[in-house]
Each structure stands twice: as structure tokens, then as C-alpha cells.
Amino acid sequence: MTTLQDTVRPKARSSGWKATVILILLVPVLWSPLLLFRYVLYQPFNIPSGSMMPTLVVGDYVFAAKYAYGYGRYSFPFAPSFISGRFRAADPAYGDIVVFRSPKVDEIDYVKRVVGLPGDRIQMRQGQLFLNDKQVARVALKEVAAGSACGGETGTRVKRWRETMPNGASYITYDCVDNGYADNTEVYTVPPGHFFALGDNRDNSTDSRFKSVMGFVPMDNLIGKVTRIFWSLDSEGELRVDRLGKVG
């Protein structure tokens, strides 16, 4: 004699099997937007050092727009080393904050600000940035407690400057030490296909001023343009609400 229970069980197993198959088929569909976002549009990065203070601080999480400068060897993980050039290539603008692969150590990514483009002459004189023999405009701001920006010594103050590039890009830089190690440099002439990058924390940044460590950066090493801080906590673990949003 057939019972109701006997007739229901096979249908349950059939439904379960169908649901499993549907779920498996849906996985690529569900993951596609995430993969598109991560590998084609925006890549998240964590800021590990204070070289870009005060714009970016240690622990910030930022999005870099990968489409901003085109796609090349470093746009995608595990891309073969023989790839050269960039698809839909575009050069950065003065003042852009960019993420790029180190020209010296292939496994390291840096985040810096673009201050020189191909053909430009860059020099630091007494801590002031000169572009093509003209001082980049800057205005002194009120000094603030240095905190970790200048080594974290109690009571240390840091000078702040509002620097404005010829295209109008404006940002704040830190100056921890007068006439520091890299405050007076030779003239750097940016070669074709490269850019010159500086950190906003001028006395505590490894950047293009140091030839043996970085030097000029090939355009092909660009990964993306930093467009947004999407997570930032202060020293007490509280969310910095006022620092969320677009990076100036």
C-alpha cells in the first residue's frame, strides 16, 4: 500500500537536487558583478605608512579606479610578464594620487602623488617644489601636532602647506624638518613614458627623489587613480566620518 509519506519523499529529493544545480549555475552569475568591480573597475588598497599624510593616514582603505589610466600588465593579478603597454591608455594629471607597481621591486605597490609628467623638470629647493623652474604655489597653514607623521615624538609640531599645481589641483603637505635630507635636490628631467611622484609627507616619503629606490615611474606601472577613501579609523578605533568620501 502506498502512503502519502512514500509519495512525498522522492519529490523532496528531486527538489533538493534541482535547487543544488540551480545554485551551482547561479554562482558565476552572482560572482560576476563582484569580479567586474574588483578586477576591472575598482581595486581596494590599504594604506600601510604615513608617507601620504595628511591626505591618507595609516589604516585607510581606498578605492583605485583601474579604468582611469587604461589597462596594462599590473591591472590584473597573475598577468604574464611579457605584456607591455596599456589598453585605452591615458596619462595621469598633476596632483593625481596614483597606485603603481614599484619600478625597482616587482612585488611592491606604492601610492603617491603625481607632480611631474614627461618632459618636466622637477627640483626641490629648501623644501619647496619647483616645476619647470617655477615654484609651485603654496600657502602656509597653521602648524599642528605631528603625531606619527614626524616620528611620533611628544610635543612635536609639523608645518603644513597648501600646495596648488598649475592645473588647479590643491592639497596639503607636511614639512617635519627644515632643510631635510631630500629638501634640496638636483634637477630631474622626466623621460618619455614616465612620471615623477612625491609623498605629501615630504620628509617621510620614499618617492621619485630617491633614484636607487624608486626614481622615475613608468606609465605602464600604473594600477589606478585613488578616488575614494571608503574606510578610515582614528587612533582610538573610531570611524572618521568626516574623512570618508572623495579624496581632494
pLDDT score of 216? 98
Q: How confident is the model at residue 87 (pLDDT cuts 50, 70, 90)?
A: confident
Nearest to 232 by CA among 43, 50, 58: 58
CA-based diameter of the chain, in Å?
A: 99
Q: How many other C-beta atoms are found inside a 10 Å radius of the C-beta of residue 133?
A: 8
Is pLDDT above 80 for 77?
no
Q: What is the pTM of this model?
A: 0.80
- % residues pLDDT > 70 (the chain): 73
Annotated catalytic residue within 18, 32, 75, 112: 112
Give the per-residue pLDDT at 16: 55
The answer, yes or no, to whether residue 67 has pLDDT greater than 60, is yes
Contacts with 213 (C-beta within 8 Å, 6 or more apart), sequence order:
104, 206
Contact 183, 126 (CB under 8 A): yes
Fold of 42-232: Umud Fragment, subunit A (2.10.109)
- Mean local confidence (pLDDT), 214-232: 93
Contact 216, 92 (CB under 8 A): no
Q: Tell me how far apart the alpha carbons of residues 126 and 185 are, in angstroms, rounded to a whole number.
A: 9
- Of the candidates 11, 14, 49, 51, the residue annotated as catalytic is 51
Per the annotation, the verdict on 235 as an active-site residue is no
Amino acid 237: pLDDT: 54
Mean pLDDT of the chain: 82
Q: What angle do CA 130, 123, 147 make, to 5 degrees?
A: 85
Judge whether 14 and 78 are in contact, CB under 8 Å. no
Q: Which of 85-94, 108-117, 184-193, 195-204 has the lowest mean pLDDT?
A: 85-94
Lowest pLDDT segment from 124-138, 139-153, 212-226 = 139-153
For residue 225, indicate whether it is catalytic: no
pLDDT at 231 over 50: yes
Q: What percent of the chain has pLDDT over 90?
A: 54
- The average pLDDT across 186-198 equals 98
Give the per-residue pLDDT at 149.
87
* Confidence band for 230, pLDDT divided at 50, 70 and 90: confident
The tens digit of pLDDT for each residue in 4-55 reads: 333 344 444 445 555 555 445 444 544 455 555 456 678 889 999 999 999 9
